[in-house]
A and B are shown apart, each in its own frame.
Chain A
């Protein structure tokens, strides 16, 4: 459904009907903003990056080869832009060794609450080296789909798999046990 709609809208835009681009924006604004958010964890910046991605896609619309699904092309373009943006102005992160600090001091004696733990793991992803961070972000964004993540990153699947494994290993090693097992209260 979406593929045919995308193709029809692209054809209209290329024929000179700029307003047809709004259909593409409305269909893909959610995914593009969410993908940007996973890269930068800043809502305002995510929307700015997504807007720039839509603008670049508009400029490059004629380069979309219709043998690939439109969304695959769009995600690859957006991913490329987001990676460049994050290299230019990195997201605010904390060192990997400090991400397990609980936000709520009351949880300090009993391990982290679930939400704190999830938050800590996501912050830890942002603190990873770029190549592992990007592979992890795209893998989970595409619902654990390695081929889709590889296409978005324009990398071979084997490379993405290796980076995923290494990235998760880094997370597993760096995140202290407190994330998994609540510590016993001291007597």
Chain B
């Protein structure tokens, strides 16, 4: 299934999508498939300020623990507490209910891929 066209993608398998004045960040199906069953998601505190490329959390599965990287400079405005209660949401719906954080950002760092380019580089 192709990745949703309404957002952009990074080399390290995060996605970023505009949401009014803010941006939502998550990880891709490709990343989730590599992890297998997600057991724990560590997310940052609200208000934390980060620079593009900073790790902002961890996704842990039975198999491995992976850091997730913020695609742009930003301040955390919301975290997905449903996901913290039920990490399996990430396996079930990485592009919807499995979102990780919302941020306010001053600028878009660029160097993202669109869905078609990301899918070409990362066949699921």
Q: Do A and B bind each other?
A: no
Binding site for A on B (CB under 8 A): none
Binding site for B on A (CB under 8 A): none
